[in-house]
Amino acid sequence: MCAKTFKGGIHPHDYKHFSNHKAIEIFPTPEKLYIPLVQHIGRPAVPIVKVGDEVKKGQKIAEAGGFVSIPMHSPVSGKVTKIGPYPHPTGTIQHAIEIENDGKYDWISELQDDENYYSLSSDKMKERIQEAGICGMGGAGFPTHVKLSPPENRPIDTVILNGVECEPYLTSDHRLMLEHPEEIIEGLRIIMKVLGAKRGYIGIELNKKDVIIIFKQMLRDHKNINVVSCQLRYPQGAEKQLIFAATKRKVPAGGLPMDVGVVVQNVGTAFAIYEALRYHKPLIERITTISGAIVNEPKNLKVPIGTPLSQLLEFCGGTSEDIAKIISGGPMMGFALPDLEAPATKTTSGFVFMGEKEVVDTTEATCLRCGRCVDACPMNLLPSFIADKVKNGQYEEAMKLGILDCIECGSCGYVCPSHIQLVQWIKIGKIEANKLKRQDK
């Protein structure tokens, strides 16, 4: 069988050996948790607790701020000590609820085991997913119940589970798939049922052969679900690229997967969906990889949402030398953080630490017009031209060149011999371009 892929992209070294053999460990819940009200795309959640309130584990502490939003739940029992600005793993400052752990771990109501979850109606399922506060765990954090409610005129026939995990260093999805394959398949079946989809795929990159074998075995009696083994190529995990690899369908530029009848969900999301349906368990913890050459014991951890990074690092034995860069997420798309304060959120797939030697020089030279960025771009854009336009404030021109179609995968920046900070230019340009777009409307 020939592995599938897309056009463009790059081949970075994957650095997964630090943690891909480490079983998931459960991280002991810390003293204090900081639960940001924004962990997803859409409106921020609205707190429904006050400072001083006692909360139980699993208790809803913030309500969805609208349809495209999700509720937040407390991962521990304890006391709300503060609601205010706090560092966020995207490098920004966001409002967060601070909860002091009382060490009792009292659930608000014991988890029920609802074995008949699969016979629930599709609407009921969606409701439960919505209540559990699930958003996409593959990175962007799009509220899952929204994704599962496509408009009438966009029938979905295919669901793809994204287990590609093409970001270097990260192994959380890998371990999850290895340790909980059945739950993930169940999750996928639920999604397919909700959407009425006939086909399911699980996309996995070839560097996770063990997982591919397991899934192949387990899927023998699910004729409508297939494993798609994908070539090692970044950004194989990006939605449009994965859809292309699995189905040869091209999501239209500026369009959504549903335009071609596909929904993509991360394997972690599928797992969370399964737990929500079967056990009524809200999304209060996730698997996160702590890795990097300088981390003494890289690990895959199951962490309660809101755990500050400093504690996670401590649990992994600290670092062997001074930290030169802290990255939340993978090194290709993640955010560099100024300190260790930020907490893990629902979308945090990992933290990577780099020492002085690994940090790349980011001084820009002049663009050679070599076109390597063009060759690397999986969206077939012209990154160097776009950056030129942004530098000169010609945002409209940049829009004509498709700046808004950029998925910020970083392939272009990775290959640029002049170290042009293409992605940052594009991010700046996107902000301005979106402003223009809104003005036009």
Partner 1 sequence: MDFSTLFIIIIGSIFVNNFVIHRFLGLCPYIGVSKKMDSAFGMGMAVIFVMTMASTITWLIYTFFLNKATSIFGIDLTFLRTIAFILSIAVLVQFVEMVIKKAAPELYKALGIYLPLITTNCAVLGVSLLNINENYNFIESIVNGAAAGVGFTLVLVLMAGIRERLEYSKVPKSMKGMPISFIVAGCMALAFLGFSGMKF
Partner 2 sequence: MNLVNVSSSPHLHEQVNVRRVMWTVVIALLPALIAAYLFFGWRSILITILGVVAAVGTEALVQFLTKRPITISDGSAVVTGMLLAFNLPPLTPWWIPVVGSIFAITIGKQIFGGLGYNPVNPALLGRAFLMASWPIQMTTGWATKLANAGVATVSGLKQTLITGGNAQLQNLITSATPLNLAQQIRGDIVAGTAGDSARTIFHQLSSLDYIKELFWGNIGGCIGEVSAAALILGAAILVYKHYIEWRIPIGYIGTVAFLSWMVGGIDGLFSGPILFHIFSGGLILGAFFMATDMVTSPVTKNGRLIFGIGCGLLTVVIRTWGGYPEGVSYSILIMNIATPLIDKLTPQKTFGYRKKSNK
Partner 3 sequence: MLLVSIIVLSVLGILFGIALSFASKVFHVEIDPKIEQIEEVLPGVNCGACGYPGCAAYAEALVVSGADPTLCAPGGDNVAAKIAKIMGTKASKKERKIAVIHCQSGGIDNTKIKFENKGIATCQAAILLSNGQNACTYGCLGYNDCYRVCPFDAISIDENNMRIIDEDKCTGCGKCVEACPRDLIELVPISKKVHIQCMSHDKGKDAKANCGNNTACIGCGLCVKKCPVNAITLENNLATINYEKCVSCGLCATVCPTKAIEDRIIIRPQPIIIEENCIGCTICAKKCPVGAIDGKVKKVHKIDEEKCIRCGICIDVCPKKAIEAKS
Ligand X SMILES: Cc1cc2nc3c(=O)[nH]c(=O)nc-3n(C[C@H](O)[C@H](O)[C@H](O)COP(=O)(O)O)c2cc1C
- 358 phi, psi to nearest 5 deg: -85, -20
Give, to the nearest 10 degrees, the angle between helix 181-195 and helix 172-179: 100
Q: Residue 368 or 436: which CB sits closer to partner 2?
A: 368
Site string for ligand SF4, 359-398 (x = CB under 6 A): --------xxxxxxx--xxxx-x-xx--------------
- Contact between 324 and partner 2 by CB under 8 A: the answer reads yes
Strand ranges of the sheet holding 60-63, from the earlier edge strand across to the other edge: 46-47, 60-63, 72-73
Among 196, 392, 417, 431, binds partner 2 (CB under 8 A): 417
- In angstroms, what is the minimal distance from the CB of 211 to partner 1? 47
Please tell me the distance from the alpha carbon of residue 262 to that of residue 198, in angstroms, as a whole number.
11
- In angstroms, what is the minimal distance from the CB of 359 to partner 3? 8
Q: Is 287 helix (H, G, I), strand (E, B) or coil?
A: strand
Please tell me the distance from the alpha carbon of residue 397 to that of residue 394, in angstroms, as a whole number.
5
Tokens describing residue 115: 């074995």
- Contact between 431 and partner 2 by CB under 8 A: the answer reads no
SS3 content of the chain, % helix, strand, coil (to 5): 30, 20, 45
- Contact between 292 and partner 2 by CB under 8 A: the answer reads no
Q: How many CB atoms lie within 10 A of CB 360?
A: 10
- Contact between 409 and ligand SF4 by CB under 6 A: the answer reads yes
Among 92, 109, 320, 380, binds partner 3 (CB under 8 A): 92
Name the one range near partner 3 by CB under 8 A: 134-142, 166-174, 301-309, 426-434.
426-434
Please tell me the distance from the alpha carbon of residue 302 to that of residue 26, in angstroms, as a whole number.
5
- Contact between 408 and partner 2 by CB under 8 A: the answer reads yes
Site string for partner 1, 317-356 (x = CB under 8 A): ----------------------------------------
- Contact between 30 and ligand SF4 by CB under 6 A: the answer reads no
* Binders of partner 3 in range 279-338 (CB under 8 A): 335-338
- Contact between 418 and ligand SF4 by CB under 6 A: the answer reads yes
DSSP structure string for 313-356? HHHTT-BSS---EEEES-TTTPEEESSS-PBP-TT--EEEEE-T
- Contact between 364 and partner 3 by CB under 8 A: the answer reads yes
In degrees, to the nearest 5, what angle opens at C-alpha 274 toward C-alphas 345 and 154?
90
Site residues (CB under 8 A) for partner 3? 91-93, 335-339, 359, 362, 364, 421, 424-425, 427-428, 431
Site residues (CB under 8 A) for partner 1? 366, 388, 391-392
